[in-house]
Structure 1
C-alpha cells in the first residue's frame, strides 16, 4: 500500500510540460496531475472501505477510478483554458489556472468607467467571447467577484463592487449562460492584488474576477 501511494505521488507531481499560449512559459500538465491526485485519493478511500485482507485490491481499484475522474476533469479544464486563452488574447483579461479552477481577471479600467457599474460598450465583444466559452463548456459553476481599491468611502466601494459583479452576471445571462450556474458578490477593497499606495496598484485592485469551477469536483 505504501509503495502504491509513493508511486502515485510521483505521477501526481510529474508529467509532461505544456506551453502557456499567453506567456510562452512551460506549465505542468494539469490532466496528468489531476489523474495522479485522483488516483491517490481513490487508493486511500478504496483501502479504507475494504477489509484488511482486501486492502491492496481495494486501493488499486480506487486508484484506477480516482485517476479516471481526476484526469477527466483536468482534461476538460485544459480544453476550456486553451479556448479562453485563444479568445481573450490581447484583450487585457488575464487567465490564471489554480488546480482545476480557472480565474479570469478583468481590470476595471477596461471594463467600466470610473465610479460606474455600466459595462463599457467596447468590452461587450470580450464578454461575448467569455459567454461563448461558458456555453460550450457548461460543466462549470461561475463565481463572479467585484473588487475596488481602498480610496473613497467603504460603503460606496462595497456597493460599487456588488453592482459591477452583478452587471457582468446580468450580461452573461443575457448571452444565454444558465442562471443556475452563476452567482455574484462584491467585496469592496478586500483581497487586494497590489498595493493601494500607488496608482498602478489601485488600478490593478479595481477589477472583476470570474472563477470557473468544475462541477465534477
Structure 2
C-alpha cells in the first residue's frame, strides 16, 4: 500500500459542486477507474480520501488536492489517466505524486477576484478604500443560544497582501489570504463584505484559487 496525492483543478460549472458532492464525485470516479483503494475500517467502510483544504462553493481552483491510499502496483501516470477518464467535465487531475506535505503546512492561499460594474472606475476607488481601511468588518452567521444571529468580525487580519487594477474592462484583485486548518478566511465572505461595504451592485464576478503556500511562501505540494 502507498499513499499518493492527486492535484486537480475545479473550473467552469464544477465550481458549483459542494465539497461533500466533490467527495462523492471522486469516490465514484475511483470506482469507475477500477483503482484498488484502501478502505477505512469500522461499520461503514469507505475508500480513504483526504482533501487538503476544502474549497468554498462557487470558487474555481487550480490547486486542489486529494490523498488516497492505493493497493495497486500501477504508475502515477496510469492513475492520472484512469481517473481523468472517469471524472466529469470541469474536474481534471493535473498531477499525481508520492512525496507531499502535511496539510498543516498550509498558511496562505492566493486568489484572483474579477469584478465588473456599470462604473468600474468608481467601484475600483471604493474597493481600494475598503482594503486600505484599518478594519474590515464582516458579518458572519452564528448562533446565540437557539437563535441565528449575525456576528461582526474584523477580517483585515486575514489579508497578507493584495494588488488591484482595471484590466480589459474588469476589476482584477489579486490577494493573498491566511488559509489552512488553523486560520482560514472564506473567499466568498471577503467578496460579500466588499460588495456590502461599497454599496454597489456588480454585473459579473468570478473567484479563483490559484495557489496554496507554506509559511515561507513556498508552494504547498
In the superposition, the TM-score normalised over structure 2's length comes to 0.28
| Higher fraction of helix | 1
Larger Rg: 1
Higher relative contact order (CA 8 A, sep 6+): 2
